[in-house]
Structure 1
Amino acid sequence: MTTRMTINGVSTCMAGEKYEKFQIKIGRKVRTMYQYDYRDTLSGDLFSCVKSTLGECRQLRDEWLKCKNKEDRL
């Protein structure tokens, strides 16, 4: 699989979100997955995940942002 989201294993996501749809084959079954990267515009922290839907990726990102904001307040 070729990817345009990484160069030598390093994310190319600058600010905001970037995602890529790909397919994997498990036995005879083909599954569609999403690689999702989000770089926080203020701190530059990177969130990355692979899930079966883009909605799941964004939900995890939102949870990460909530936890991150709580830590920043402490």
Structure 2
Amino acid sequence: MATKMTINGVSTCQSAGTENYEKFQTGIGRRKRTLVQYDYRHTDGELFSCVKPTLDECRAARDKWLTAKERKEEKR
């Protein structure tokens, strides 16, 4: 599968606070599913990546990850 999101297996999402996403299909014959691969580079440089059926679900997962990350940092 050709992808614009990785070069040699490394995410192209390098700038802090940016997101990349692309849709792709998986499956055989009529059982194809469209999924979204999503990468988000946080302002501290950490990469969040997921695959979900829609972009909205990816962004919801990112928001949940950010909330958990903020709580973890507050405990320090």
Question: What TM-score, normalized to structure 1?
Answer: 0.91
**Which residue pairs with 2:58 in the alignment?**
57
Amino acid at match of 2:11: S
Offset of 1:27 from its aligned partner? 5.4
The structure that is strand-richer by fraction is 1
Identical counterparts, % of pairs? 63
Offset of 1:22 from its aligned partner? 0.5
Over 2 Å off, 4+ runs? none
The CA deviation string for residues 10-69 of structure 1, in whole angstroms up to 9 with x for no partner, is 11102311101101114531110000000002x111000001111110000000000001
Question: What TM-score, normalized to structure 2?
Answer: 0.89
**What runs of 5+ residues in structure 2 fail to find an aligned partner?**
none
**Which residue pairs with 2:13 in the alignment?**
13
**What runs of 5+ residues in structure 1 fail to find an aligned partner?**
none
- What is the total number of aligned residue pairs between the two structures? 73
RMSD, aligned CA: 1.1
